[in-house]
């Protein structure tokens, strides 16, 4: 079975954030999201500046930044995102009742609602727990990449029902194929390693585009821990785009 192209998905996209992501993917010929799992503002901004031209989005875990200050961390990050035309994806993986998620989304020092274009959320709190993410796109955690994850077949099936029916949801994180109505984001991608000794399991870009028909690949340590993150981003970008084009052509 063949997959839909980014152009087809762009034309069918309902949510403004899906449209924007697909528009950037087509313009940059990239399906790469860099995961910025660094712990200082300086390292975050430096990475964003270096990989910015090659990515469609920068994924943050903003709560690991030790010296976080809204004005010194977020404002410059937003400027770099604007300059290099990428979106900001906060990987908060919300996992609570709607009211608490709403507070975590809007309040505290991070004020995620003020800057993130899209966020990740577990769907374990049920359909209504996602209502609070009004002004952003939500990527639902459907399946995890780590060894021994509890996201079994039946869990994923139920998680997908919530994801597919909620208007705020633009996509899912998974290691398995998902229906084409929403975008598939796949982490656990590394060209050099098969694991990290802490449960993470890696695949190659070629593998995920071919077997999962993923839309966007998420790469963390493969880029930010490499000696030359800018060059590594370019390598992953080219590898991801080539694998996407191959997955369009081949009908297995």
Query: What is the distance of C-alpha 187 from the center of its chain?
Result: 8
Token code pair at residue 58: 């920068």
Query: What is the distance of C-alpha 41 from the center of its chain?
Result: 20
173 binds ligand UP6 (CB under 6 A): yes
Shorter beta-carbon distance to ligand UP6: residue 66 or 251: 66
Residues 6+ apart with CB under 8 A from 116: 60, 88, 89, 90, 136
144 binds ligand UP6 (CB under 6 A): yes
Task: Tell me which of 52, 171, 172, 187 binds ligand UP6, using CB under 6 A.
Answer: 187
Own/partner pairs, 174-179, CB within 8 angstroms, 24+ separation: 174/142, 174/143, 174/212, 175/143, 175/144, 175/145, 175/203, 175/212, 176/142, 176/143, 176/212, 177/211, 177/212, 177/213, 178/142
Task: Tell me which of 162, 218, 233, 235 binds ligand UP6, using CB under 6 A.
Answer: 218
**Minimum distance from CB of 87 to ligand UP6 (Å)?**
16
Q: Give Cα separations from 229 to 35, 139, 174, 216, 243 (angstroms).
A: 12, 26, 25, 19, 21
**Minimum distance from CB of 71 to ligand UP6 (Å)?**
25
Token code pair at residue 25: 């993917």
220 binds ligand UP6 (CB under 6 A): yes
**Axis crossing angle, helix 229-249 with helix 41-51, rounded to the nearest 10:** 50
Task: Tell me which of 73, 145, 214, 247 binds ligand UP6, using CB under 6 A.
Answer: 145
- For ligand UP6, which stretch binds (CB under 6 A), given 76-84, 111-119, 215-223, 228-236? 215-223
Q: Is 78 a catalytic residue?
A: no
Shorter beta-carbon distance to ligand UP6: residue 63 or 96: 63
163 binds ligand UP6 (CB under 6 A): no
Contact flags string 45-84 toward ligand UP6, x per CB under 6 A: ----------------x-----------------------
Shorter beta-carbon distance to ligand UP6: residue 37 or 63: 37
Contact criterion met (CB below 8 Å) for 189 and 218: yes
From 78, 93, 210, 242, the catalytic residue: 93
- How far apart CA 203 and CA 189 sit, in angstroms, is 5
139 binds ligand UP6 (CB under 6 A): no
| Residues tagged active-site | 93
What residues line the site for ligand UP6 (CB under 6 A)? 35, 37, 61, 91, 144-145, 173, 187-188, 190, 200, 218-222
């Amino acid at each position: 079975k063949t997959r839909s192209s980014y152009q087809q998905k762009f034309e069918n996209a309902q949510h403004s954030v899906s449209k924007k992501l697909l528009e950037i993917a087509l313009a940059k010929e990239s399906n790469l999201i860099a995961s910025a799992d660094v712990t200082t503002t300086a390292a975050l901004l430096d990475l964003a500046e270096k990989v910015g031209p090659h990515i469609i989005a920068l994924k943050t875990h903003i709560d690991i930044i030790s010296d976080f200050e809204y004005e010194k961390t977020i404002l410059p990050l937003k400027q770099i995102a604007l300059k290099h035309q990428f979106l900001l994806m906060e990987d908060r993986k919300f996992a609570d009742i709607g009211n608490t998620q709403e507070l975590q989304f809007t309040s505290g020092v991070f004020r995620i609602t003020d800057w993130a274009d899209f966020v990740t959320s577990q769907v374990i709190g049920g359909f209504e727990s996602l209502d609070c993410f009004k002004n952003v796109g939500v990527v639902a955690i459907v399946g995890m990449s780590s060894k021994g994850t509890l996201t079994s077949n039946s869990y994923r099936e139920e998680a997908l029902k919530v994801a597919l029916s909620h208007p705020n949801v633009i996509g899912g994180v998974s290691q398995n194929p998902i229906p084409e109505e929403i975008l598939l984001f796949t982490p656990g991608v590394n060209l050099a390693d098969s694991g990290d000794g802490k449960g993470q399991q890696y695949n190659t870009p070629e593998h995920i585009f071919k077997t999962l028909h993923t839309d966007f690949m998420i790469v963390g340590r493969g880029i930010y821990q490499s000696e030359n993150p800018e060059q590594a981003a370019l390598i992953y970008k080219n590898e991801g785009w080539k694998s996407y084009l191959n997955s369009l052509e081949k009908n297995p």
